[in-house]
C-alpha cells in the first residue's frame, strides 16, 4: 500500500541524520521503500510517500528510527484515484 506521512519534526538534526543512515537499509520487514521525501525550508516538517504493508508496520519502523524526534500523521492513498503517482 502507498502511505503519505506528514512529519512534524522537533529535532531536525537527529531526525535527518537517522534518515540518512536508515533509508539505505530498505526494504525491511513490512516496509518496502520510500518513494518521495519533501522537507520544508528549515527541515522541521516533511511530507513523505512510502510503500509499506500497513500504516501500523510503517509507524513501528519510523518509531524505531526517529523515536520522539517527530510526530506523524498517516494517510493511506487511494491509488486508483491518485494522479501523478508512479509506483
The CATH number assigned to the domain holding 65 equals 3.30.70.100
pLDDT-derived band at 84, boundaries 50, 70, 90 = confident
In a domain, 24, yes or no: yes
Report the distance separating Cα 1 and Cα 53, nearest Å: 6
In a domain, 82, yes or no: no
Residue 14: per-residue pLDDT: 97
DSSP 85: -
This prediction's pTM:
0.91
Kindly report, residue by residue over 3-50, the tens digit of the pLDDT: 999 999 999 999 999 999 999 999 999 999 999 999 999 999 999 999
Structural domain range at position 61: 2-76
In a domain, 51, yes or no: yes
How many folded domains does the chain comprise? 1
- The vertex-67 CA angle with 75 and 4, nearest 5°, equals 15
Residue 41: per-residue pLDDT: 98
Residue with cell 530498505: 26
Amino acid at each position: 500500500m502507498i502511505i503519505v506521512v506528514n512529519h512534524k519534526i522537533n529535532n531536525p538534526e537527529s531526525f535527518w541524520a537517522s534518515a540518512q543512515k536508515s533509508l539505505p537499509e530498505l526494504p525491511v520487514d513490512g516496509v518496502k521503500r520510500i518513494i518521495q521525501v519533501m522537507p520544508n525550508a528549515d527541515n522541521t516538517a516533511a511530507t513523505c510517500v512510502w510503500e509499506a504493508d500497513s500504516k501500523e508496520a510503517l509507524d513501528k519502523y519510523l518509531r524505531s528510527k526517529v523515536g520522539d524526534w517527530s510526530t506523524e500523521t498517516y494517510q493511506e492513498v487511494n491509488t486508483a484515484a491518485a494522479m501523478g503517482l508512479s509506483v
